[in-house]
Amino acid sequence: MVVAHLLDMDGVLVRGGQAIAGSVDYVARLVAEGWPFQIFTNNSRFTPEDHAKRLRAAGFPVRPEHVYTSALATAQFVESQRPGSSAYVIGEHGLVEALRQTGCRITEFDPDFVIVGDTVSYHYEQIATGAGLVAKGAWFLATNPDATGPTERGFHPACGSVAALIEKATGRQAYFVGKPNAFMMRGALNRLRVQAGDTVMVGDRMDTDVIAGLESGLKTALVLTGVTTRADVERFPFRPDHVLERLADLRDFVTAG
């Protein structure tokens, strides 16, 4: 029996800033009927307030507390591992703000961490600076392993691709905090105060969304409105519980007790 939802955002709810057909009505139903849910995104560019505002502009009746991002998970990880630490950030204000709210100091002078997040305007100088700091001993984190992300112009290189540049240059591996890391999964479930077995993870990626749900004991649903095609599913040695054309089709498979 499913009573809670973790909903990926890009490719499930929206694509290129536009609502995917049926997704607004599905989320509106969750809100109206009081189902616990989190919009569970590896997109670290924006704060929960920004994400909620953008989603409301597309028609979704959501509030900031409905949004849980890899930036929030990364900030919580940093706070849990080294309270009061410092970081050099390659990313946007969503990640910077999340870190600052937990007391992390943002600096390029001898930081404890180098943290890579999402942005649509990566600068070579920042990547080179980050690589240099990692080579000197800074701990290397990244918000998510997604190699590409959808935009209005199509796909663009994302956090995982940029982290790979620094990994190649330094020989140091990044620790990815976002999906499919169980750390982020636990953070979202704790916010909802629900059990994994009572929750469905809905996403458009086999290698982050579906595997994250599978490894954390959630039900899983793959929608085909994002980066994964039905043929792509066969390349993986695991399968989601449901493969759906779009989020709206999930209503036939979930019930609340």
* pLDDT digit string, tens, across residues 176-213: 999 999 999 999 999 999 999 999 999 999 999 999 99
* pLDDT digit string, tens, across residues 156-165: 789 999 999 9
CA 124 to chain centre: 24
| Residue found by looking up tokens 């989020």 in the block | 247
Per-residue confidence (pLDDT) for residue 113, from 0 to 100: 98
25 is catalytic: no
* pLDDT digit string, tens, across residues 104-114: 999 999 999 99
Q: Which of 123-127, 147-151, 178-182, 245-249 has the lowest average pLDDT? A: 147-151
CB 33: neighbour CB atoms within 10 A? Answer: 8
Structure tokens, 50: 């920004």
pLDDT, averaged across the chain: 94
More confident residue, 252 or 79: 79
String of DSSP letters for the chain: ---EEEE-SBTTTEETTEEPTTHHHHHHHHHHHT--EEEEE---SS-HHHHHHHHHHTT----GGGEEEHHHHHHHHHHHHSTT-EEEEES-HHHHHHHHHTTPEE-SSS-SEEEE---S---HHHHHHHHHHHHTT-EEEES---SEEEETTEEEE-HHHHHHHHHHHHS-PPEE-STT-HHHHHHHHHHHT--GGGEEEEES-IIIIIHHHHHTT-EEEEESSSS--HHHHTTSSS--SEEESSGGGGGGT----
Per-residue confidence (pLDDT) for residue 152, from 0 to 100: 61
Q: Which of 14-18, 60-64, 81-85 has the lowest average pLDDT? A: 14-18
Query: Average pLDDT, stretch 27-40?
Result: 96
More confident residue, 136 or 153: 136
Q: Looking at the predicted structure, is the pLDDT value of residue 153 above 90? A: no
* pLDDT digit string, tens, across residues 127-147: 999 999 999 999 999 999 988
CB 93: neighbour CB atoms within 10 A? Answer: 17
Catalytic residue among 8, 118, 204, 209: 8
| Residue found by looking up tokens 């809100």 in the block | 31
Query: Average pLDDT, stretch 253-257?
Result: 63
- Residue 56: pLDDT band by 50, 70, 90 thresholds? very high
Per-residue confidence (pLDDT) for residue 237, from 0 to 100: 97
249 is catalytic: no
Per-residue confidence (pLDDT) for residue 257, from 0 to 100: 43
